[in-house]
């Protein structure tokens, strides 16, 4: 019994990062600060590990603060999140997203892009930001 506990303790010390790591974004589409020639069909986020997607996990705002995205869905075993969008007119847009990591922490971020215009600062947006909340 003592030996099993010792092995478990050594394993926990040897591999702590994997057990407590928050999910990180590995791909954004459209990209942060991108200036697109045409409206995207969706906002896509890819993560380095599966995440749980909540109903309002991805919100796309126009320059007036109106939400213009549709309900997101996950794919690829939870590593991808896709939020469809209707055809976007010329303008700057802000994406706000959040997801729940496998460790139970909420990770979130915000970024901007533009359709036929520079991305701009968006509605209270900052360049790509990722943070975990406890």
> What is the chain's pLDDT, residue by residue, as a tens digit (134 residues)?
554 444 333 334 344 444 457 899 999 999 999 999 999 999 999 999 999 998 889 999 999 999 999 999 999 999 999 999 999 999 999 999 999 998 899 999 999 999 999 997 755 443 344 455 55
Our count of domains for the chain comes to: 1
Q: Please report whether residue 109 resides in a domain.
A: yes
Note whether residue 1 is domain-resident.
Answer: no
Structure tokens at 125: 């947006």
CB 128 within 8 A of CB 50: no
User: Is residue 67, in this structure, part of any structural domain at all?
Assistant: yes
Quick one: pLDDT at residue 20?
Answer: 53
Count of beta carbons in the 10 Å neighbourhood of residue 18:
10
Give me the pLDDT at residue 54, please.
86
Let me know if residue 122 belongs to a domain: yes
Residues 6+ apart with CB under 8 A from 122: 61, 63, 92, 93, 94, 110, 112
* CATH code, 122: 2.60.40.1220
106 occurs within a structural domain: yes
Range of the domain at 56: 22-133
pTM of the model: 0.75
- The answer as to whether 12 is a domain residue is no
pLDDT at 17: 42
């Amino acid at each position: 019994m003592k030996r099993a506990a010792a092995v478990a303790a050594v394993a926990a010390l040897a591999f702590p990062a994997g057990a407590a790591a928050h999910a990180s974004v590995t791909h954004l589409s459209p990209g942060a600060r991108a200036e697109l020639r045409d409206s995207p069909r969706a906002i896509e986020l890819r993560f380095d590990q599966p995440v749980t997607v909540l109903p309002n996990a991805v919100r796309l705002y126009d320059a007036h603060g109106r939400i213009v995205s549709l309900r997101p869905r996950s794919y690829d075993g939870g590593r991808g999140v896709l939020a469809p969008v209707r055809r976007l007119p010329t303008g700057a847009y802000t994406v706000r997203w959040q997801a729940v990591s496998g460790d139970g922490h909420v990770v979130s971020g915000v970024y901007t892009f533009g359709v036929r215009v520079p991305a701009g600062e968006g509605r209270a947006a900052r360049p790509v930001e990722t943070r975990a909340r406890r």
